[in-house]
Chains A and B, each alone.
Chain A
Amino acid sequence: MNRKTKSKIEVTLIYLFFLIMFIIIGYPLFWAIMMSVNPGTNMLVTDLFPSNPTLEHYIWLFTDPRSDYLLWYKNSLIVAILNSLGSVIITSLIAYAFSRYKFIGRKYGLYLFLLLQMFPALMGMVAIYILLNTIGLTDSLWGLLLVYLGGQIPFNAWLVKGYFDTIPKELDEAAKIDGAGHLKVFWTIMLPLAKPILAVVALFNFMAPFMDFLLPRIVLTSPENYTLALGLYSFINDQFSTNFTRFAAGAILIAIPIALVFLLLQRYLISGLTSGATKG
């Protein structure tokens, strides 16, 4: 009896704690949504529950001739799709080599990847800018894409290599005995079996251009080349208090699709991360 009530109190406390967490998590997001339906741009008169909610900011984003929102969306989408495809191709090739072949420099290559993934791209930002400048790719989405593709290699190659290692080696040996070549083994055995981790890599690199702020800020200068993150920041960068409502509307339109995709795929994300990093 005594024990039962104790347990009940515990469970209630746990639920209470979850409730507090839900409020802490939900409040900022809810506040942003409410801000986006506040009329006008003066933050001092905004209300958490506006008396006359409006969609004017959303409509402005899509219809106003001064709005570059759709252009930014297109830019981000182009970079995201190419980045996701390109990174899957490059990293899966590298990971295949590191997982299945023995070659000179293999071990040091792995150490290099592990080391490089801790160095943020910012550390070499000046040089990246000068390099892009010399090949004429500053203020260009291609330049941005190139830096993304190169920068993702250490982390993702390591992740995919970890996953490839869990695929039994006997499979490709058997295929080789049956006469399959190197590329055929890669194409018909490794790639199909590694689909989950490749999906993770594709997703990560698809989302990166939507979320990254720093690199576009350094590489891109003209507003028609902005990606979404940069464009949205420009709403509030100059006159913070006056355009936050518009920023909120634009931000929500990115956050919702990304969050949905993310929540749908979170199980793969986590299993991919852990299988790559905590093996053994």
Chain B
Amino acid sequence: MTNNQAEKKTGLSAPRNIATLLSVLVPGLGQLYNRRLLKGFILLIVSISFLVTTWDYIDIGIWGLFTLGTIPREHHSIQLLLQGLISLIVLFFGICIYAYNILDARKDAKTREEGKPIPTLLEGISNFYDRGFPYFLILPGLVMLLFIVVLPLLFMLALAFTDYNQYNSPPRNLLSWVGFANFTDLINIDIWKNTFLSVFTWTIVWTVVATTLQIILGFFLALLVNDKRIKFKRTIRTVLILPWAVPAFVSILIFSALFNPTFGAINRDILSHFEIMIPWLSDPFWAKIALIMIQTWLGFPFIFALFTGVLQSVPADMYEAADVDGGTRWQKLRLITIPHVLFATAPLLIMQYAGNFNNFNIIYLFNEGNPAVRGQNAGGTDILISWVYKLTFETNNYNMAAAITIIMGLIVMGFAFFQFRRTAAFKDEGERY
């Protein structure tokens, strides 16, 4: 009987709609209406305390986010900006609780309409524990992630649209939003344009050449070690992995000394036999060559180790079939080995390219991005990220650094896009659940 009655009621007077509406008006009220007293009170208390504790903070934060302060020396634009961004995150959590409250009220009302009994207090708690469990698991990590990784990225994003630099910095001055002015400056003002173009092209060349060399050398060595006629495989592998095992900053600094033109061993002990002196650190071209060689040295062991593992998983019968068909060694390599290996490792290889694109350590530790180049404000071997570092910490051009960071971010998203498409883990997402 009650069932039929409930079904007849539609429109606003249906219990589900009443409960939803009540929860929209006051969080927790819908639950109280559903006779879920404890849940209702908890939600009510949580939302009230949320509003009481955060209202002022969020209010100022959002105001600050729009205006960046109005009184110089009293309002600190950067702190206001940060507060505004934190407010957004807190607000997001608040909205999540609010949305949960509405959906929950509606769902409970529905089950009540269907005439199912109200769960007891204990059942309710255990239900909540069951369904809330994954959220408890990710909450600590999520909070850290939001504040340590996401918030700083948002902050940089925001900075790119302000006029924050060494001449215009709080608390003395107020910042203001300048739209895309920093980006147009990057294209229109000569020194920025020249620097950006040369740094950008070198970054691309660096990423492509260094990473590809790394992959080719690693692949070639993995093929050789995998050869059946080779003995002492374990020893050879261990030695080949050595550059990966030594901390990179140590090896880079060692190389930096090795390439030093006055006392470095490369010029003094090796090249002097051939009567050659190469200005490794002071000539941009040779510095770039040195960097690419060092990165190949540093990076090939990872690829080598990776490919060694994958090569052993290539099915032997494929090679046997190729032998029967009279395939040459080159054909087997091109048609069986390479596709198999590339397919299995593509995501990690893309990560290698992305990693070198942002390889700050080697550029900075080798030569601090030097030598200086006339007519631009970045060094001859600076890649985008080391240029950003210099702009930020040496010349305090925060706005331009942020603008360049955004351009880098877009490129990185390009890498990520390929990654998404290739990552096998997503393919079976649908089947798993």
Contacts and interface: CB of A to CB of B under 8 A. Distances in A.
Contact of B152 (A124, A134, A213, A274): A124
A115 B419 CA distance: 9
A167 interface: no
Contacts of A96: 137
A274 B309 contact: yes
Contact of A123 (B241, B354, B409, B433): B409
A75 interface: no
B245 A25 contact: no
A124 B148 CA distance: 9
A271 B312 CA distance: 12
B373 to A, nearest CB: 21
A94 B141 contact: yes
B149 A118 contact: no
B152 A120 contact: no
Interface string A114-143: 111011111111111011001000000000
A266 B245 contact: yes
B159 A126 contact: yes
A247 interface: yes
Nearest to A96: B137
Nearest to A261: B245
A102 B134 CA distance: 8
Interface in A87-101: 90-91, 93-94, 96-98, 101
Given A14-B227, A28-B251, A270 B306 contact: yes
B236 A18 contact: yes
A31 B145 CA distance: 42
Nearest to A269: B305
Interface in B140-173: 140-142, 144-145, 147-153, 155-156, 159
A82 interface: no
Nearest to A266: B241
Contact of A115 (B221, B244, B405, B416): B416
Contacts of A44: 262-263
A11 interface: yes
A29 interface: yes
Contacts of B135: 97, 103
Interface stretch (B3-11, B374-382, B424-432): B424-432
Contacts of A270: 305-306, 308-309
A233 interface: yes
Given A119-B409, A124-B153, A151-B149, A21 B240 contact: yes
A259 B245 CA distance: 5
Interface stretch (B106-114, B202-210, B344-352): B344-352
B187 to A, nearest CB: 21
B425 to A, nearest CB: 6
A127 B240 contact: no
Contacts of B247: 207, 210-211, 229, 251, 254-255, 258
A17 B241 contact: no
A90 B144 contact: yes
Given A93-B141, A114-B416, A118-B415, A131 B246 contact: no
A182 interface: yes
A279 interface: yes
Nearest to B159: A126
Given A93-B138, A280-B425, A116 B149 contact: yes
Q: Is the interface of A mostly helix, strand, loop or mixed?
A: helix
Say which size band chain B's interface belongs to. Answer: 35 or more
A263 interface: yes
Interface string B389-433: 100110000100110010011001101100110011111110011
Contacts of B251: 28-29
A277 B348 contact: yes
A79 interface: no
A278 interface: yes
A229 B412 CA distance: 28
Contact of B254 (A97, A153, A251): A251
Given A126-B155, A244-B257, A154 B145 contact: yes
17 contacts: A25-B243, A93-B138, A119-B153, A119-B412, A123-B153, A126-B398, A131-B147, A150-B145, A162-B425, A210-B247, A240-B260, A258-B246, A258-B247, A271-B309, A274-B344, A274-B345, A278-B345
* A-B complex: 7 closest residue pairs judged by Cβ atoms: A124-B152, A150-B148, A280-B424, A127-B155, A127-B152, A101-B134, A97-B137
Interface of A: 7, 10-11, 14-15, 17-18, 21-22, 24-26, 28-29, 31-32, 35, 43-44, 46, 48, 90-91, 93-94, 96-98, 101-103, 106-107, 109-111, 114-116, 118-128, 130-131, 134, 146-147, 149-151, 153-154, 157, 162, 165, 182, 207, 210-214, 218, 229, 232-233, 236, 240-241, 244, 247-248, 251, 254-255, 258-259, 262-263, 266, 269-271, 273-274, 277-280
Interface of B: 78-79, 82, 129-130, 133-135, 137-138, 140-142, 144-145, 147-153, 155-156, 159, 221, 224, 227, 229-230, 236, 238-251, 253-255, 257-258, 260, 262-263, 265, 269, 297, 305-306, 308-310, 344-345, 347-348, 351, 354, 358, 360-361, 364-365, 385, 388-389, 392-393, 398, 401-402, 405, 408-409, 412-413, 415-416, 419-420, 423-429, 432-433
Given A126-B155, A149-B144, 6 more contacts: A43-B257, A97-B133, A126-B392, A251-B254, A274-B348, A279-B425
